[in-house]
Amino acid sequence: MTLTQQLHSPYKKPLAQKWEPIFVNSNNPVGIKATETGRINERWMEYQGVKNWEGLLDPLDDNLRREIIRYGNFVEAAYRAFDFDPDSPSYATCKHPKSSLLDRAGFAETGYRVTKNLRATSGIQLPRWIKKNTPKNNWVGTPSSWVGYVAVCNDKEEISRLGRRDIVVALRGTATCLEWLENLRATQTKLSNSGSVLDPDGTEAMVESGFLSLYTSASKTNPSLQYLVREEIQRLLQRYGDEPLSITITGHSLGAALATLMAYDIKTTFNRAPLVTVISFGGPRVGNRSFRHGLEKQGTKVLRIVNQDDLITKLPGFVMDNNDDDGEEGNGYVQMVKLSGWIQKRVEEAQWAYADVGHELRLSSRDSPYLDGSNVATCHDLKTYLHLVNGFVSSTCPFRATAREIIKKKKLNNNEGSPLHQQIRDFYTNIWWRRSLEEHGTNYTDSKSMSTINV
């Protein structure tokens, strides 16, 4: 089993089996197609980030929770549809036709229709001796691979629930050898389409070289990912441009980085592009301060779901001044590197100075009683991220399964009217949570002391 297969294969531990179906099974309340309780039509722009998710992240709004998990499941579908077997003749391609991709990946009745397959091509040129002695379609010698898809909401009920027609781009994480090698190209390259967007100090927008290579590289037989996306977005805008419309780009790991680049490119290319939102899971850093400044100036909204125990989210490079005046608020959890002036200058000259973009929902594997926070692979897994989103309450009560322990330890000074006690009580009596527990056959017994809640 390759490292990629290990990272994205189902867990084998009994504990994990208790919670895994909750967020990757489309037949439950947090599947791709939400229930009537998740109607967001009147506030859909807020949930897409037009107000920077103000008041929705801490505590985590239930509708936003559903939407994050729903978009995460689109990425899970991309993983399931990808052929990871290097011995397969169809390695690095999509195993299913567009017409049945979501259904066969385990997510039926989504209300979305896949309209375009997407491929990414590496710009790395392998030495001739490797090419000569390596089969064309194996893990080492595959330059181009299926990376995800574009889907459009075409279900009237779902469009009504969402308040608009939604275009989704879903992107998987690293799978092939050349994609791993591109990840290691951590120095930065100038964006050719950045136009006149500069940081206030005059620095040009730059992004990680490997990510840009995978986005813009093409071969004789495969157009670039950039070309494929622009072509499909242009077609969809021409067809649906007169309707309320949104573009949501979601990805995990490498897919999260490509999603951020893609959003920047779409807003730069199409003057009348609708609201573009990125929902990223476990994404690495993408570019410098100027790149972040460009995203903010063009109105692209980015919500980064970050597991603080996930090493990938701390790479590449260094974040040295994330709280500068031109940055967006809401990144209070970012850990910055404090360096002396001359070291900082050397880091910037070496093109290792990065900036986190958008807004952050910070979670932790250590808050879940079901996870091992020290397991590197588990901390980065998409299933872990969806589990943590499903369980997160707020910064004062990080995980709902531990609410009972929080009450027991703190005892709240026998004060049931305290803010923490009220917050936990309100969360657990939420209608959606009751339905989720009941539909999964979980015991729920409410009392004034809440001491008999079983999760």
CA distances 27 to 18, 55, 357, 382, 440, Å, are: 16, 30, 34, 19, 11
Domain contains 114: yes
Distance between CA atoms of 361 and 359, rounded to whole angstroms? 7
Both 162 and 128 in one domain: the answer is yes
Both 378 and 421 in one domain: the answer is no
- Decide: residue 67, CB within 10 A, 0-12 exposed, 13-18 middle, 19+ buried: buried
Both 316 and 453 in one domain: the answer is no
Domain contains 237: yes
DSSP secondary structure, 216-250, as one string = H---SS---HHHHHHHHHHHHHHHHTTS-EEEEEE
From the list 217, 253, 364, 368, the catalytic residue is 253
Both 385 and 435 in one domain: the answer is no
Q: Tell me the CA end-to-end span of the chain in Å, nearest whole number.
A: 34
Domain contains 398: no
Domain contains 94: yes
Could you tell me which residue, 1 or 87, shows the higher pLDDT?
87
26 catalytic residue (yes or no)? no
- Decide: residue 124, CB within 10 A, 0-12 exposed, 13-18 middle, 19+ buried: middle
When pLDDT is averaged across residues 24-31 and rounded to a whole number, the result is 41
- CATH assignment of the domain containing 190: 3.40.50.1820
**pLDDT at residue 375 greater than cutoff 70:** yes
Between strands 206-208 and 188-190, the pairing is antiparallel
Which of 70-84, 313-327, 331-345, 437-451 bottoms out in mean pLDDT, i.e. has the lowest? Answer: 437-451
**pLDDT at residue 408 greater than cutoff 50:** yes
306: Cβ–Cβ under 8 A, 6 or more apart, which residues?
282, 313, 333, 360, 361, 362, 363
206: Cβ–Cβ under 8 A, 6 or more apart, which residues?
188, 189, 190, 191, 287, 288, 290, 291, 351
Both 331 and 413 in one domain: the answer is no
- What are φ and ψ of residue 75, in 5° steps? -70, -40
pLDDT at residue 380, as a whole number = 96
Task: Express each pLDDT in 235-269 by its tens digit.
Answer: 999 999 899 999 999 999 999 999 999 999 999 99
Distance between CA atoms of 256 and 146, rounded to whole angstroms? 15
Both 422 and 284 in one domain: the answer is no
pLDDT at residue 218, as a whole number = 95
Both 192 and 270 in one domain: the answer is yes
Total structural domains within the chain: 2
pLDDT at residue 196, as a whole number = 52
Domain boundary among 392, 415, 435: 392
Residue tagged 């011995």 (tokens) = 87
Residue numbers of the domain that contains 222? 3-392
Both 338 and 409 in one domain: the answer is no
Domain contains 108: yes
From the list 61, 166, 199, 310, the catalytic residue is 310
pTM: 0.80
Residue 84 structure tokens: 């990871």
**Which residue from 181, 235, 189 is spatially nearest to 208, judged by alpha carbons?**
189
Domain contains 397: no
From the list 96, 380, 387, 421, the catalytic residue is 380
Both 415 and 386 in one domain: the answer is no
pLDDT tier for residue 393 given thresholds of 50, 70 and 90: very high
Both 314 and 433 in one domain: the answer is no
Q: Report DSSP state, residue 29.
A: T
Both 407 and 388 in one domain: the answer is no
253 catalytic residue (yes or no)? yes
**pLDDT at residue 423 greater than cutoff 70:** no
Could you tell me which residue, 382 or 397, shows the higher pLDDT?
382
Domain contains 348: yes
Both 187 and 288 in one domain: the answer is yes
